[in-house]
């Protein structure tokens, strides 16, 4: 895959374009013919009731879905015009461009430094560059100051919110263009959640962020666009304000007004 220019003018081409994406497990269809576009330097929220396929969608966007046994994927996902499901494309490269943060903070049982350096070491980055990138990533994730320079302690000694920001720093260190976040604040308290939201707000300046969330206020606070999923289908995808205040679909309306789900 070609490395895109950073900091160029904001184009109108979507950074990620999903067409007729269908994901099946052995006995059921998890995602059914989903098509939507994601823009660079924007936050898009994915909402919908539990089990509607949100996690499956984001996992299908960086070829993590296929890691689970028995999952079959059809359709097309283009990253800057390039098909990520092309058999010639190495999933490892896709995952470097499209990073991921999981629902539960899962630091490796290693030092904070090694956690952040993990992806870089795979690419054989030299030590000096490594130090710089680790520091920059921790700063971006708002952890550097809190750590007071102590990056040698185990990542497991951090609080839950700090661990999640460590996981974000770890993902940022690889220099992705897109960050997939699957309910990154679901296991955190309100203060830690707020910090993550502020972080997401900042990240938009450099990245495309695709944020799965259960929390509609969160979507309203941080996302430009919101997609509502129901039973594996994309029901509505539009400007966040419009989706919440003036939904086109009845289903969306009843969901955002809390009448089900």
Partner 1 sequence: MDEPHPPGDRSGPDRPPAFLGPPAPAAPAPPRRERSLGRWLGSPLALAPLLLLGIVVAVLAIASEGQNFGLSFWGPVWAFNPTDPAGSTYGIALFALGTAITAGAALLLASGLSLAISIALTVYLPPRTSRVLTTLTDLLAGIPSVVYGIWGFVVLAPYFASSLEPTLRNALGWLPGFGGPESAIGGGSGLLLGIFILTLMVIPLTTAVMRESLRSVPRELVEAGLALGATPWEVVRRVRLRVARRGLWGAVFLGFGRAVGESVALAMVLGNTVQFPPSLYGGSSTIASFIFTQLDSAFFYPELLRALVEFALVILILTIAFNLLGQRAVSEVRPRAVAGAGGRA
Binding residue for ligand ATP, selected from 18, 54, 207, 255, defined by CB under 6 A: 54
**Stretches 53-61, 133-141, 150-158, 202-210: which one binds Mg ion (CB under 5 A)?**
53-61
Query: Percent helix, strand and coil across the chain, each rounded to 5?
Result: 40, 25, 40
Closest C-alpha to 114, from 88, 89, 87, 151 = 151
Interface pick for Mg ion out of 15, 44, 47, 55 (rule CB under 5 A): 55
| Residue 110 interacts with ligand ATP (CB under 6 A): yes or no | no
Other CB atoms within 10 Å distance of the CB of residue 25: 13
> CB of 101: closest distance to Mg ion in angstroms?
13
Q: What is the secondary structure of 122-170 as a DSSP string?
A: HTT--HHHHHHHHHHHHHHTT-HHHHTT--SSBGGGS-HHHHHHHHHHH
* CA 234 from centroid of its chain's CA atoms: 18
* Residue 213 lies near ligand ATP (rule: CB under 6 A): no
**Only segment of 55-63, 150-158, 169-177, 214-222 that touches Mg ion (CB under 5 A):** 55-63
Is 50 an interacting residue with respect to ligand ATP (CB under 6 A)? yes
- Least distance CB 169 / partner 1 (angstroms): 12
Closest distance of CB 102 from partner 1, Å:
4
From the list 37, 71, 108, 231, which residue makes contact with partner 1 (rule: CB under 8 A)? Answer: 108
Distance from C-alpha of 207 to C-alpha of 164, rounded to nearest angstrom? 18
CB count within 10 Å of CB 24 equals 16
| Closest to 44 (Cα-Cα) out of 244, 195, 172, 212 | 212
Q: Closest distance between partner 1 and the C-beta of residue 57, in Å? A: 13
**61-100 as b/e, with b when 16 or more CB fall inside 10 Å?**
bbbbbeeeeebebebebbbbeeebbeeeeeeeebbbbbbb
Helices (H), 31-155: 54-61, 91-97, 112-122, 127-140, 144-147
Residues between 113 and 172 with contacts to partner 1, criterion CB under 8 A: 118-119, 121-123, 156, 163, 167, 170-171
Rule CB under 8 A: choose which of 96, 111, 218, 226 binds partner 1: 96
Q: Choose between 163 and 213: whose C-beta lies nearer to partner 1.
A: 163
Find the binder of ligand ATP among 15, 47, 56, 179 (CB under 6 A): 56
Site for partner 1 in 182-221 (CB under 8 A): 182
- For residue 60, state whether it binds partner 1 (rule: CB under 8 A): no
- Could you list the residues that contact ligand ATP (CB under 6 A)? 25, 30, 50-56, 68, 70-71
- Could you list the residues that contact partner 1 (CB under 8 A)? 55, 62, 64, 67, 69, 92-93, 95-96, 99-100, 102-110, 118-119, 121-123, 156, 163, 167, 170-171, 174, 182
């Amino acid at each position: 895959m070609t490395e895109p220019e950073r900091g160029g003018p904001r184009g109108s081409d979507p950074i990620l374009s999903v067409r007729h994406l269908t994901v099946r497990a052995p006995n059921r269809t998890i995602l059914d013919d989903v098509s939507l576009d994601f823009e660079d330097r924007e936050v898009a929220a994915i909402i919908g009731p539990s089990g509607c396929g949100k996690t499956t969608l984001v996992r299908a966007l960086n070829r993590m879905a296929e890691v689970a046994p028995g999952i079959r994927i059809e359709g097309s996902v283009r990253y800057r015009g390039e098909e990520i499901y092309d058999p010639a494309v190495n999933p490892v490269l896709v995952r470097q461009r499209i990073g991921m943060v999981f629902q539960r903070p899962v630091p490796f049982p290693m030092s904070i430094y090694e956690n952040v350096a993990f992806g870089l070491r795979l690419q054989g980055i030299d030590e000096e560059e490594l130090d710089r990138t680790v520091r920059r990533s921790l700063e971006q994730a708002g952890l550097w100051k809190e750590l007071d320079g102590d990056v040698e302690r185990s990542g497991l000694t951090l609080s839950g919110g700090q661990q999640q920001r460590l996981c974000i720093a770890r993902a940022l260190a690889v220099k992705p263009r897109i960050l997939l976040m699957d309910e990154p604040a679901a296991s955190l308290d309100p203060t830690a959640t707020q910090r993550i939201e502020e972080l997401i707000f900042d990240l938009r300046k450099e990245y495309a962020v695709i944020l799965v969330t259960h929390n509609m206020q969160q979507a309203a606070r941080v996302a430009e666009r919101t997609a509502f999923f129901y039973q594996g289908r994309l029901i509505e995808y539009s400007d966040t304000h419009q989706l919440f205040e003036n939904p086109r679909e009845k289903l969306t309306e009843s969901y955002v007004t809390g009448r089900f789900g």
